[in-house]
Amino acid sequence: MSQSRKKLPKNREVTPRAGSAVPPQPVPEDKAWPTTSPRDPLYKRAFLYSTLAMLLITIVMALGSGINGDDEYQNDYSEKLVDYYAAMGADTAALYIEKGNMHFYGGFFDLTTGLVNRALGLDEFDSGYHHTRHIFNAIMGVLAMLFIGLFAKEVAGWRVGILALWMAFLSPRFLGHSLMNPKDIPFAAGFAIATYYMVVLLRDMPRPSWKKALGLALGIALALATRAGGLLLIAYLFLFAGLDFLYKNGVRGIARQWQALFSYLAFALGVSLAGYVLAILVWPAALENPIGHPLAALTEFSKLGVKIRLLFMGENVLSDNTAWYYPILWIVKTIPLYVLVGLAGSLFILPTLLKRYNTIAVLLAYFAAVFPIFYVIYKNSILHDGWRHLMFVYPSMVVITALFWGTLERLLVEHRKIQYALYAIIGLLAADAVLFIARNPHYPYVYFNPIGGGIRGAFGYYETDYWGVSVKQAIGWLDKEGIISPDMQDTVILGTTFYYNLSRQTRKQYNGKVKVEYVRYNTRYNEAWDYGIFPSRFIRGAHLRAGTWPNSRSVHAISANGVPLAAIEKDEDKYTYRGQQAINAQDYQQAANAFNQEVEAHPDNEVAWTGLANAYLNLRQYDEALHAAREAQIVAPGTETALLYEGLAHLYKGDASSALDALQGAVRVNEEYYIAYYYIGLIYEQGNDMRQAYENAQKAIEQSPAFKPAYELAARALRALGDENNAKAYEDAARKL
């Protein structure tokens, strides 16, 4: 037989028999870039050494990081988890935890660290207790970075993998949360692991490796054992397994390649089940109700029912009243410029990415980066503290970014000078983030990029140290100055808005000689303390922008790039405290004297000015009360109590119009300010506008159901409107209070 007869035609296709499995179809050689290189052994070593260096650096940084504000709930859950498993389920405290709803969270992180701390004999007042948690947090963060790099390597080779690894590490927000965020970082790590193993397993389908399948199951388990949102990964798996099957076999393959289809289904079901079971093993509430509880938790998180007040675009708004673009704007303002440019640029070369790399892998990266953001916008989900609840999308964002920059480098391979310019551009785009990390290693999570105006431009418009991490550095300063020390003899009282952070880092370290008192920021001087530590979290944006914080009572500020994160205040004479005590004793003249002493010494003390306005109101010196209330608002614009007192002073002077303006200003600042609604209602009642009187009385009742005068006002207004039955109902309700 001649050689020519043995040779198959060039374009002849070999059609497999029905039901037979089709081997993986590689990207045609004329389209694909090689993902291997003779220098791969060198790149692989560089990748490994980079990861080890990052782990060491991140652990060191984590040991210098403070406690985050949510650790109060996490640490309590940690102890309850250990008790549950130690008692073989007999101790059921972990099954329902009203404060923080921690039973809706998986227990992997808190159980693991809880067992270590219990074995070491540490409790939450030991510094080692928090070091254990921070070290494990750092490991989770670097694990996420590792799999970000591996995902990029799997798609585009070791060189791009190294780039992705470093781009993840040099992301200040992600790195900062890796130091002390035990919810969002393990969750992101689970997503990074799972999406990587989806890529490698789908590449091998329909004959996947069981070892890699185990890796995917562990990724799903880690995410689900942190948050119920890990169920998304199961949806991702089925979606992309289906897409991969269709990509390799076409729609006709559903009927013709039934063995392959069965392999895909069995693979997705098996891995999902394994991940699910592993997750609930460390989640007591889910162990008790394996199906219902995770679904209930998912529903709870999709609405995130806890409302808190947030600083967004300069306004202090409730978390259920933010703009739809809240997460997008936060992301744009806080990710490094090289990621922002990389994401935007990747859209312009998307056809090239899909052509040159594994199509399913590229689509998975985009979907995992974009879908959750648009989903929470569509669902109008409540988010707290920027975009930390969406941090699990960041690994995929970094993969896309690395693919963009790596692809540009390959396109410019024959243009060395332009390639060098590209390296310079990447370096310039990264410089701001790198310098921020270097200057602020204890709290890089407060980073804002130049588009966001940097942290200086964000100050007063967006939250910075919303978790009070800088409390640790404030304690360090007090220690350094000798104000507190382990061998101190006298007791020092510290006031703070972050009681848990401060108390857990001082009680044992200072032998019980440091006493911590929780105070509300807007009334902080009404309590007796020697020094106060006050992060910016609970301060209104208008106050921050007024330039009066830190005030003249501050002896030091903990700063990031020169922007204050926390103020340390000293109150040695306690004039404001004495004034408030006199108010409580109804000695209003003595109160006015004490408040005046304070504002003469510290005219930027809005608490003293507000107290002075109250004293003058009770002394019926209404002009003086107006002056004091206005001074308080100059120091701290948007102080609702000062606006209330201004309104009352106008009202008692007979100026109902000016009173109404001030009181409406108070409810604009705080839409839950029931007492202002009540007085607004009274003014409308005096003006014979009974409909408005009733509506404002009702608003007061909605915000404070136990406020009896509002019921009485509503009853009078309804009776005047001729609604006797409802008027009596309000009177009956008032009598029961």
Express each pLDDT in 295-324 by its tens digit.
998 887 766 556 788 999 999 998 888 899
pTM of the model: 0.91
Tokens of 353: 């990415």
Which of the listed residues 520, 539, 570 is the one where a domain comes to its end? 570
Among residues 553, 570, 587, which one ends one of the domains? 570
Q: Which residues contact 694 (CB under 8 A, 6 or more apart)?
A: 681, 713, 714, 717, 718, 721
Task: Pick the closest to residue 676 from 695, 692, 687, 662 (CA basis).
Answer: 662
At 115 the three-state DSSP class reads helix
Task: Report if residue 356 sits inside a domain.
Answer: yes
**Residue 375 included in any domain:** yes
In terms of domains, do 277 and 336 share one?
A: yes
pLDDT digit string, tens, across residues 145-168: 999 999 999 999 999 999 999 999
Q: Which residue has the higher pLDDT, 383 or 392?
A: 392
Q: Is the pLDDT of residue 396 over 80?
A: yes
Confidence of residue 382 (pLDDT cuts 50, 70, 90): confident
- The strands making up 514-518's β-sheet, listed across from edge to edge, are 514-518, 492-496, 531-535, 563-570, 554-560
Share of the chain above pLDDT 70, in %: 95
pLDDT digit string (tens) for 165-219? 999 999 999 999 999 999 999 999 999 999 999 999 999 988 888 899 999 999 9
Together in a domain, 79 and 174:
yes
Among residues 398, 417, 439, which one ends one of the domains? Answer: 439
Q: Provide the domain limits for residue 485.
A: 471-570
Q: What is the C-alpha end-to-end distance of the chain, expressed in Å? A: 106
My answer on whether 363 and 239 are in the same domain is yes
Look at residue 231 and tell me if it is in a domain.
Answer: yes
Same domain, 522 and 417: no
130 shares its domain with 240: yes
On whether residue 600 sits in a domain, the answer given is no
**Would you state the pLDDT for residue 50?**
98
Per the domain annotation, does 284 fall within a domain?
yes
User: Residue 694: its pLDDT value, please?
Assistant: 97
Do 654 and 663 contact (CB within 8 A), yes or no? no
Instruction: Output DSSP code: residue 24.
Output: P
60 domain residue, yes or no: yes
Convert 594-611 to b/e letters by CB count within 10 Å (16 or more is b).
Answer: bbbbbbeebbbbbbbbbb
**DSSP conformation letters of 206-221:** TS--HHHHHHHHHHHH
User: What 3 state SS string does 332-359 have?
Assistant: HHHCCHHHHHHHHHHHHCHHHHHHHCCH
Residue 666 within any structural domain of the chain:
no
Whether the predicted pLDDT of 264 surpasses 80:
yes
pLDDT (tens digit per residue) in 587-617: 999 999 999 999 999 999 999 999 999 999 9
pLDDT tens-digit map of 69-122: 999 999 999 999 999 999 999 999 999 998 888 999 999 999 999 999 999 999
Lowest mean pLDDT of 2-11, 465-474, 566-575, name the range: 2-11
Are 430 and 484 found together in one domain? no
Cα 267 to chain centroid distance, Å, stands at: 34
Closest by CA to 408, choosing from 192, 163, 150, 48, is: 163
DSSP 522: G
DSSP per-residue codes, 604-617: T-HHHHHHHHHHHH
- Whether residues 430 and 486 share a domain: the answer is no
Residues in CB range of 436: below 8 A, 6 or more apart:
172, 444, 447, 455, 560, 561
Q: Tell whether 428 and 479 lie within a shared domain.
A: no
Q: Hey, how many other C-beta atoms are within 10 angstroms of the C-beta on 736?
A: 7
What's the pLDDT band for 32 if we cut at 50, 70, 90? low
- CA torsion sign, 346 to 347 to 352 to 353? positive
User: Based on the domain organization, do 279 and 405 belong to the same domain?
Assistant: yes
Residue 460 confidence (pLDDT) above 50 = yes
CA–CA distance, 487 with 97 (Å, rounded to integer): 38
Altogether, the residues listed in the chain come to a count of 737
What is residue 572's DSSP assignment? S
Per the structure, the count of domains in the chain is 2
Confidence band, pLDDT 50/70/90 cuts, at residue 31: low
pLDDT higher than threshold 50 for residue 12:
no
Q: Estimate the share of the chain in helix, then strand, then coil, as percent rounded to the nearest 5.
A: 65, 5, 30
The answer to whether residues 334 and 482 belong to one domain is no
**Residue 665 is assigned to a structural domain of this protein:** no
549 with 417, same domain: the answer is no
- Residue 174 tokens read as 């992600």
230 and 282 assigned to the same domain: yes
Q: What is the pLDDT of residues 543-591, one digit of tens each?
A: 999 999 999 999 999 999 999 999 999 999 999 999 999 999 999 999 9
Give the phi and the psi of residue 465 in degrees, each rounded to 5: -90, 70
pLDDT-above-90 percentage for the chain: 86
> Considering the chain, what is the average pLDDT of its residues?
93
